[in-house]
Amino acid sequence: MMKFFDKLFGKKEKAIVRSQDMANTAPLTEEQIQAIVSGQSPHFDMQQLVAGCGQSVGKQRELNEDSIMALTATIAGNSGNLPFGLYLVADGMGGHQFGEIASNAAIRSVSDYIMKRFHPYLFHLKTEMMEEPFQEIMLGAVREAHKVIQREAPGSGTTLTAALVIGQQVTIAHVGDSRAYFVYPDGRLDPITRDHSLVKRLEELGHLAPEEAQNYPHRNVLYRALGQGDFLEPDIFTVAFPQPGYLMICSDGLWGVVAETDIQRSVIEAPTLQRACQNLVTAANVAGGPDNISVVLAQLIG
C-alpha cells in the first residue's frame, strides 16, 4: 500500500514543479512539450503500444521483394489492460525466383493464422484462458506459411522475423537473416535474433573473421528459410519488452547497410517512431540503397 502512495505523491510533486516553471513563460511549443514529456518518462496508468514502419525498394533494385505487416491494438478497461501487437518483416530471397510471392505469402499466412487464434480471446469476451501457448501458435503459423509457400511458389524462399507482443511479453519467431533488435535509450543496440546465414555460421565456427565476413561473396546464402526444405525449425522464444526501449525489426537492406551507431541515433533522436523509420530508410538509401529496405519500430509506453 505504501508503494502506491509513494507513486501518487511522486507524481503530484512533479506536476507542481512543472506548473511553476511555466508560470512566467510563454506557452510551450509542441516540440518543447514533447521534449519535457519524453525527458521525464511520466507514469501512465494505461499501458499502450505504438509503432511505426518504413519501406523502400532501395536505389539499385527494380523489384521490392520485402514485405512488412504491423498491427497494433490496445485494449483497456475495468477487466484489464492488454497491449497487443503483431509485427512481421519478410525478405524474399533474391537469388531464388519469386521471392516477392514468398514474402507476401509469409506475412499474410502468418497473420491470418495468428489473428484467427487470438480473435475469440481478444474480442469475444471469453473468460477462460487460451490453452495454446504463444510459442506453439507462432510455430503453427510459421509451419503453415512454410507449406503455403511451398504450394504457391515452390523453390522460392523468404526470411521471416515475427514479433507477437502481448502485455509485456514479446514472442519472436525467426527464420533467415532479417533481424529483431532491442534499442535502449542509452544507445545500446542488442540484436535478439541470430542470422541463419552461411556467413554468420562460418563466423561462429571461426572459419571467417568478422572483416572477411563483410566481403564474403556468399553473404546472401541462408541455411534456413521459409519455403525451403521439407523440415523447418524456426527459432522461437519469449522475452520481456524493453522498458524503456524499442523493438526494431528490419531486413538486411537496413542492418547490412547502415552502421549500428547511425541506427541507434536515428531511433533515439527522432521525435516519433514514424519519423525514426523514415530516417532509417533514408539513411540506407543515402548509403547506396543496394537492397530493399524494411523496418518496423514499436514501443511500449506506460
- Site of interaction with other proteins (CB under 8 A): 80, 82, 95-98, 101, 109, 112, 128-136, 144, 148, 150-156, 166-169, 171, 198, 201-202, 204-205, 207, 218, 221-224, 228-231, 233, 235-240
10 Å Cβ neighbour count for 230? 6
Minimum Å gap between C-beta 148 and other proteins is: 6
Q: Which is nearer to other proteins, 180 or 263 (CB)?
A: 180
Q: How far does the chain reach from its first CA to its final CA, in angstroms?
A: 20
Which grid cell is 255?
542492418
Are the CB atoms for 267 and 52 separated by under 8 Å?
A: no
Nearer to other proteins, 233 or 260 (CB): 233
- Distance in angstroms (rounded) separating the CA atoms of residues 58 and 280: 12
Q: Which CB sits closer to other proteins, 26 or 205?
A: 205
Between 53 and 173, CB nearer to other proteins: 173
Of 153 and 293, CB closest to other proteins? 153
The DSSP line for 158-210 is: B-EEEEEEETTEEEEEEESS-EEEEE-TTS-EEE-S---BHHHHHHHTTSS-H
